[in-house]
Amino acid sequence: MNRTKLLLTLAGLLFVGALALDARSFFAKTSSHPPVVEQRLPNGHLHRVATAPVATSTVDQTHTVAQPGEAPINGVLPVILGQPASGPVELTGKLSGAYVKTGPGEAFAVFELKARAPQKHERVPVNLALVVDRSGSMDGAKLADAKRAAQELVRQLKTGDRLALAHYGSDVTVEPSVLINDQTRRELLATIEAIRVNGGTNMSGGLVAGGNAVHPFSSDFRVTRAILLSDGEPTEGVTSNQGLFSEVGKLREMGITVSALGVGQGFNDTLMRGMAERGGGFSGFISDSSQLASIFTRELEQAAGTVARAVTLNLTLPPGVSGVEVMGLPSTRDGDTVRIPLYDMTSSQSARVVVKLTLDAPANETNMKVLDASLSYVDVAAGQPSWVTLALAAKVTNDAQVVHANLDRDVRVHAIRALGTQQLQAAAEQMQSGNRESALSFLTNARKLFGASASALAGELADLDKTQAAYGSAQSDSEVRQEALNLKKKTMKNFGQNNSY
């Protein structure tokens, strides 16, 4: 099944299985619950997809579906603080309700991560690789702006930082990593000025070469990062998304963070975002190459201000919990453990993770452990691994009214936002594919979901109005693509991620 058909099938089935034509409901005023299977999208995300409706359901959906005629949810449960609570990253979490109903059911969990401001602000020396596309399509303003941005980055590096430069067309040229001083700064500025366009787009070759250039020095630096820039699709070397994701994963295992910046109109945004997600860095969808200088400056600030790197949220499913869907983020599952890679964090930076759970609450128990979470990262200031853990549990009851009376308003809003944002993702893909009717249909689906909590999601509804108006007035393919990219940026924010430009 090709990418467009997969997205159409996926989002359509999700909408049929999850949403009725009543914006007052969270999903549907129905007792049916379709069986689901997992499918992997081209960007690597796993989604649960309805396969076929059934006539009735014994699955309790009080946590995830607004019940017919239900009273408004106004309660807010206490937040669980992860322990230890004194490290550079705070982890909190809570469930969609304090009670679960006996038997099969569903629930949501929301986790919030926030990097604490250090008592003493200290710029961390950085070990960087700058990997620049010089393929034929970069000719002209894009390469000129990229070179100026790279030169500005060199000027902003401090004595004692390191920089390696790799530039790629069909071939790859690597300038070895050097310590920054007055002489090496002058030499790098001259080397960058001499870069000329040539050939195809050997992105993997450039990325691997840049990683290899900085790796020998990574043990001497608390932060090592590769910044990849490209304006197009890879045409040589490793060209598949999954193949490049694998290369990025290898670099991250070596302690190298990867940021991926797309510039212009021809880059593969799914690829660039996927590499940043797996690399722990930032992604950028940059339409105007003159913005590159400020983006490179922000990348340097991010690298030098890192307080936690190799950030990963691990979820362990206890007995009775069989399924988990991580909303809007790549994840891998091994047995009862789900691993969610997140981005390196600077002071006060945050991230949100929303997950949907499938469970079976035992009739002979009064309490049920629902989820164990463990956050692992490298404390940059201390130079050592750190962990934060928390456990989420609920009471078990056979009384549906008790379940409803103890639901959490805020988690419900986060869940609706995430589900509506899945529809926005599908709309953006359809915009890029030129399927106007399908794109508008998915935007309508999102509006109905957001409308289930219109007061709390007024900002999302307003943004959706702007998107629909801009999309309707777009006069060219480039304008449509730009609106699709703007919408994709919005989905990243909606899913609680703050690692994009």
Residues facing 112 on adjacent strands:
92, 352
Please compute Rg for the chain using Cα positions. Answer: 24
Q: Which of 350, 231, 346, 352 is nearest to 288 (CA)?
A: 231
Global pTM reads 0.87
- Which whole-number Å values give the CA distances from 273 to 4, 123, 234, 298, in the listed order? 18, 27, 14, 17
Q: Which of 221, 219, 277 is nearest to 248 (CA)?
A: 277
For the chain, the maximum distance between any two Cα atoms, rounded to a whole number of angstroms, is 75
CATH 3.40.50.410 describes domain 126-306 = yes
The type of residue at 72 is P
| DSSP string over 166-202 | EEESSSEEEEEEEE-SHHHHHHHHHHHHT----SS--
pLDDT attached to residue 57: 57
Average pLDDT, 10 consecutive residues per value, the chain (501 residues): 45 42 38 39 46 56 84 94 95 98 97 90 92 97 96 96 98 97 97 96 98 97 97 96 97 97 93 96 94 96 95 98 96 97 96 98 94 97 95 97 96 95 96 95 95 91 95 93 94 95 90
Indicate the domain borders of the chain: 3-70+410-494, 84-118+362-406, 126-306
pLDDT attached to residue 297: 95
- Which whole-number Å values give the CA distances from 296 to 165, 178, 300, 348, 370, in the listed order? 14, 19, 6, 20, 43
